[in-house]
Amino acid sequence: METASGERSRRGWRSRWAAIGAAVAVSLGAGGFFIAEAASGPESSIVMSDPVRILDTRDPVNVGLPGPFVSPIAQKLQVTGSIPTSTGTQSVVPTGATGVLLNVTAVGASADGFISIRPGDATGAPATSSLNVTAGVTVPNAVQVALPTTGANAGQIDITWDALGVAGPTTDILIDVVGYLVAEGGGTTVIEFSDPGDTSIPKDSVRAVGLVRIAAPSDGKIVVSASASVEAIQIPGPEVGGQTTCSITTGNTIIADQVIFFQTSHIAPLAITRGFPAVAGESYDFSLLCKTDLSDVVVQNLHMTAIFASTS
């Protein structure tokens, strides 16, 4: 296992960005330093909202789309305008919104796999995971995705459940809207990347398994999210106990009140989101730090997203 992990780590980091606004820089511990010029497009502002459930495929609920999802069949979900919700038809995200902030939850998956949430005009098989799924385990994660504003798929997202290439396994999916992006004033930068390899963490060490670097063009806020699977290489007996601790921080130490604990188990899902204030002209490094008191653990399929929104 360690040999396979090392081989995957040497492949480096694969990155992809969806950006609106100024140039951003992404620095990843395992693969060097990358600069990306933001794509041209209208400036946007983040609008936060109370959570509203727009998808629940569980019988007999079936809000948004009937379920369950079947691997690897993709479905489109309308997000903008007047849509069905768990409390009746309403307009949650306005027509013309450029992006949406979601909480996505997998429920009752019949196999291991992943869920990919992409813009509604996405085609082909997804190359990245928004949510890593373990069979029979309820797994949530925060997801941010761009929305097409024109064409047949305007205001839609593309949802794919993939049981690691196996056709047929099913899962129910829940989606709550917690905010959206609109193309007016403010200015927003969104960056996103995925790591196709693994990062090992030796016992009793603190290691940055992901790092995002972004400069704030104005005063504002930055929201950073991370998802992954944490796997113990060697599991101690029940009398030993142990845990892995992870947090998103701008420093080199794990923050006590911004932490997720993983009790002793073979594989545990990671899903964490943190918000930080940003000052104009300052550059920020946001690290996903992890520490373990198990023998060793490996962070797999890391996916991180950072959003900057101006308040000026």
Q: What is the pLDDT of residues 274-302, one digit of tens each?
A: 778 888 888 888 888 888 877 678 887 77
Q: Considering only residues 301 and 96, tell me which one the structure prediction assigns the higher pLDDT.
A: 96
- pLDDT for 100 equals 92
- pLDDT for 147 equals 93
Q: pTM to 2 decimals?
A: 0.55
**In which band, very low, low, confident or very high, does the pLDDT at 12 lie, cut at 50, 70 and 90?**
very low
Q: What is the pLDDT of residues 21-40, one digit of tens each?
A: 222 333 233 332 222 223 33
- pLDDT for 27 equals 29
Q: Which of 56-65, 109-118, 238-247 has the lowest mean pLDDT?
A: 238-247
**In which band, very low, low, confident or very high, does the pLDDT at 204 lie, cut at 50, 70 and 90?**
confident
Burial call 203-241: b when 16+ CB within 10 Å, e when fewer: eeeebbbbbbbbbbbbebebbbbbbbbbbbbeeeeeeee
Q: Per-residue pLDDT for 252 more than 70?
A: yes
- pLDDT for 288 equals 85
34-38, 65-69, 219-223, range with greatest mean pLDDT: 65-69
pLDDT above 70 covers a percentage of the chain that reads: 71
Q: Considering only residues 12 and 4, tell me which one the structure prediction assigns the higher pLDDT.
A: 4
Arithmetic mean of pLDDT over the chain? 75
Q: Considering only residues 114 and 307, tell me which one the structure prediction assigns the higher pLDDT.
A: 114
Q: Per-residue pLDDT for 77 more than 50?
A: yes
- pLDDT for 261 equals 52
**In which band, very low, low, confident or very high, does the pLDDT at 241 lie, cut at 50, 70 and 90?**
low
Q: Considering only residues 158 and 1, tell me which one the structure prediction assigns the higher pLDDT.
A: 158
Q: Per-residue pLDDT for 213 more than 60?
A: yes
Q: Which of 249, 168, 266 is nearest to 207 (CA)?
A: 249
- pLDDT for 22 equals 29
Instruction: Please give the domain boundaries of the chain with CATH numbers for all domains.
Output: 2-42+186-310 (2.60.120.760), 45-182 (2.60.120)
- CA distance linking residue 207 with residue 51, whole number of Å: 33
